[in-house]
Structure 1
């Protein structure tokens, strides 16, 4: 990193991207000896009430479409061209639907600083013919295309609550303390506590899998089941997350699941996230997921169904579908017309209820 002031760019402008721009903009103003004043936010251009969304954001200092009612710092500037927004940045904060990352990075790769540091707040995996049967992290995809290091940030961070400065925690997965300290100086606030963690892949994996489990909780809500049933989904979902990490993440550390990126994010997403809302609507509506996405999110994306599909393809390739019945059931409800009422049977017959005397001692029994 240069000794000169550092420039920050946000790649993405949904509700979470806009909330993050508030954090970054305030940090740039408060630490003017360290950061450039201007913080660019790449905004996919669209019309809002007959005007360009970027123009409205820059005039009102508010993302009126995706984070209404929250004022953004005046030093946050909406830019409709991702190359223009990112070309001079020292810190690139990726906050966009994971299916668009590959294309976006290819647009950026010839123009960014090779000394820049990226951080991904994106929940999902990269499915590509070259990665068939493997877990391909979005952070690795960013690194491979851009040729720079990429850290991750995941946690119990429902965007509107962060934007309203309600207390929360988050986890930054990083390779070095220097990277972690830099990113913490951008994200940490009195109401947002940051924990650094070197188990990057596990931190990122948690963020992706949690959205799938949240669909299951929403299905339980849609069926008018109670808190006991939701608790079972949370517990069994966490166990499948841990098992998934043991199989696919080298040196996966179970303690990471008890950081904000793990258990806390699981609870927050399953009670207050958009994928929980999707699960509930899957039960109570005959509309497709695509139509529900248009009706509920107004241009944003449910990431849970796509991640469920990605997980299922990997499990099929490895021939281990039967070891993840909760993930499999949610995939089938989303894509194969499995009846939501059958989800309770998945919980009832889950292998986690079995105990083997041959199992090695663990807090997880399957």
Structure 2
């Protein structure tokens, strides 16, 4: 069997943490993978020096994951076409709004038998929900699995123990992906319920926004527990509507309840939403001030989901999802979330 070449598309906070794992494991399994891992970097200057050059010379992403050394076999490549040419496995780790443009740039050079794995937590905005993995599959003509879980990037990069769920419906690639991502500190489980795994990763960000509103209003654990419970209920309900074959047990994997809990107590969506209540600043301003170039996913996902629910005429059955959208985009005060909860 020929060795598989791996490319990581994205080099932000989570992308760099994933690069650390993948770089270590390709070296660990020389019978399965090419040692060198290419990582596409959106080129920008840091202190007058190109970020790709900094990464390749210091083996550190000083802007998005400072203080963490990347394996020496991770090569930063600023040209996305060059980064994917000849690769067998494409690992997508970047904000979901950039996926369509990148697919258009690389589709003519992607190998016909290449496979993708998406670590992207978001949805394509349209009148019907489209998963990012489906978008990648349609644009590139290749299969796409997913990896989701309770994974705060900085904690993973520091090798604090965490878990993740791989949604892969392919019997051959499931074990390959587990070897690519599993370490002593990062445990993965593979399940054949890809759509549910991916939906959990996207929908939990809406709930995290609501949790941030709760923190911003100075409320305690009882209220946040109610938000988490209702959020999980709506996640399950939405997943069943989207995919009737959705498996209940998947919600008890890392991609489900564990990711929901950790993102409601940590992570950028909760943090920025808390500041939204306390400061009165817009989400766009707070994203620029607080995230250092990273993108806020929760409000955008709330808008995408609301558009679908509205088109189907079922938005009333999703009071938490609807309230988050109304607070983020229609000027409703954060207290509107509590008013909604009290009427359920």
Q: Report the TM range for the smaller structure's normalisation.
A: over 0.9
After TM superposition, the structure 1 = structure 2 runs for residues 252-271 of structure 1, keeping only pairs within 5 Å, are 252-271=246-265
**1:122-164 deviation line (CA, Å, top 9, x unaligned):** 0111124xxx2x2211001100111110000000111111111
The corresponding residue for 1:241 is 235
Secondary structure of residue in 1 paired with 2:172: helix
**1:172-230 deviation line (CA, Å, top 9, x unaligned):** 00112211101001100111111111111011000000011001111101111001111
Number of residues of Structure 1 aligned to a counterpart in Structure 2: 344
1:85 pairs with 2:83 = yes
1:19 pairs with 2:17 = yes
After TM superposition, the structure 1 = structure 2 runs for residues 63-142 of structure 1, keeping only pairs within 5 Å, are 63-128=61-126, 132=127, 134-142=128-136
**TM-score, normalised to structure 1's length?**
0.93
The corresponding residue for 2:7 is 9
1:288 pairs with 2:286 = no
Secondary structure of residue in 2 paired with 1:177: coil
**Unmatched 5+ stretches in structure 1:** 351-366
1:62 pairs with 2:55 = no
Give the drift of 1:117: 1.1
After TM superposition, the structure 1 = structure 2 runs for residues 1-366 of structure 1, keeping only pairs within 5 Å, are 3-128=1-126, 132=127, 134-350=128-344
CA RMSD of aligned residues (A): 0.9
Give the drift of 1:28: 1.2
**Partners of 1:45 and 1:51 in 2: CA distance:** 10
**TM-score, normalised to structure 2's length?**
0.98
Give the drift of 1:305: 0.7
**Partners of 1:271 and 1:40 in 2: CA distance:** 33
The corresponding residue for 1:358 is none
> Where in structure 1 do 4 or more consecutive aligned residues deviate above 4 Å?
none
